[in-house]
Amino acid sequence: MEVTKKQNIIISNPETKDFLADAFYPEEEKQLPLVIFVHGYKGYKDWGAWDLMADKFSEAGFFFVKFNFSHNGTTIEDPHNFADLESFGNNNYSKELSDLGVVIDYFSKHEKVDDHKIILIGHSRGGGISIIKTYEDERINGLITLASVDTLDRFPKNEAFEQWKNEGVYYVVNGRTKQEMPHYYQFYEDYEKDIHRFDVERATEMAKAHFLIIHGTNDESVSVKNAEHLHLLHPNSELYLIENADHTFGAKEPWEEISLPVYLNNAVERCIDFINEKIVNE
């Protein structure tokens, strides 16, 4: 099957700023379900094995999109590195939800897309963002989380919080790049002023889409208890645990193999089956 790959498409969001997206899709006559991948904290569209994941989804008959949040620290000129730490520090959940809305609007209008079949796949923090967007946007009829958080209240606590508030910034060292990545206090202020909107638990309970929760039992960043909690909140969801898988399902940056890591391949195959069962063939 011939697959079209359009990479580094410039998407404009007047509420934030321009960012990049990729679209992978098979050359078929029929319209295709739209699957949008939402990266997590310190993530980006070209990280690790995400290209191989995009290949697998498109070969399975889907219009697959992945994108960079406008303030994830990458730039249009340099999408593979955190070249704009100032933007990273000024990111917040309002901007991420706005960007995701723009991506849905942009690609749902594509002539190859069936806009009645829209699925979000969110990894880590992107899972929390995807849950909220699914609750807010009735066009979304499929939701899949990969190693998702069950709350967006993942800020410093106690003395560390007071220090952040007083100094206006705190830094997290990126283990891979060794960069000190800033987080400005505006992030918490944005969260606090719209705290009910950012309530992942409430959005999970209220979301009406078909919902698949995938998590590795060896996740070192987001405990598998997050997945179990989401499943309790949304009893009609499906919980799929992958024994011994870590937070990125065996992938790392750079990923130099020609095939997906075993755990991530397992996750993607379950995603494909779920979309076909619940959305394509319902």
* 187 falls within a domain: no
pLDDT tier at 1 (50, 70, 90 boundaries)?
confident
Segment 200-220 mean pLDDT: 98
Q: Identify the band that residue 25 occupies on the pLDDT scale cut at 50, 70 and 90.
A: very high
Q: Tokens 């705190």 label which residue? A: 170
The 10s digit of each residue's pLDDT in 96-138 is 999 999 999 999 999 999 999 999 999 999 999 999 999 999 9
pLDDT at 222: 98
Range of the domain at 117: 3-154+200-280
Cα separation, 182 vs 75, in Å, equals: 16
Residue 63: how many CB atoms within 10 A of its CB? Answer: 26
270 within some domain: yes
Instruction: Give the pair of three-digit tokens for residue 24.
Output: 């992978």
The per-residue pLDDT for 133 is: 98
| Phi-psi group of 158: left, alpha or beta (phi > 0 → left; psi -120 to 50 → alpha; rest → beta) | left
- What per-residue confidence (pLDDT) applies to 264? 99
Q: What is the mean pLDDT of residues 63-67?
A: 99
pLDDT tens readout for residues 219-242? 999 999 999 999 999 999 999 999
What's the total number of domains in the chain? 1
Q: Which residues lie closer than 8 Å to 236 by C-beta, 6 or more apart?
A: 211
Is 190 a domain residue? no
Beta 210-216 vs 140-146: how paired, if at all? parallel
What does pTM read for this prediction?
0.99
User: Both tokens of residue 170?
Assistant: 């705190």
- Residue 171 resides in a domain: no
Residue 280 is given by DSSP the state: I
pLDDT the model gives residue 282? 78
- CATH number of the domain to which 33 belongs: 3.40.50.1820
d(CA 92, CA 188): 8
How many Å apart are CA 208 and CA 203, to the nearest integer?
10
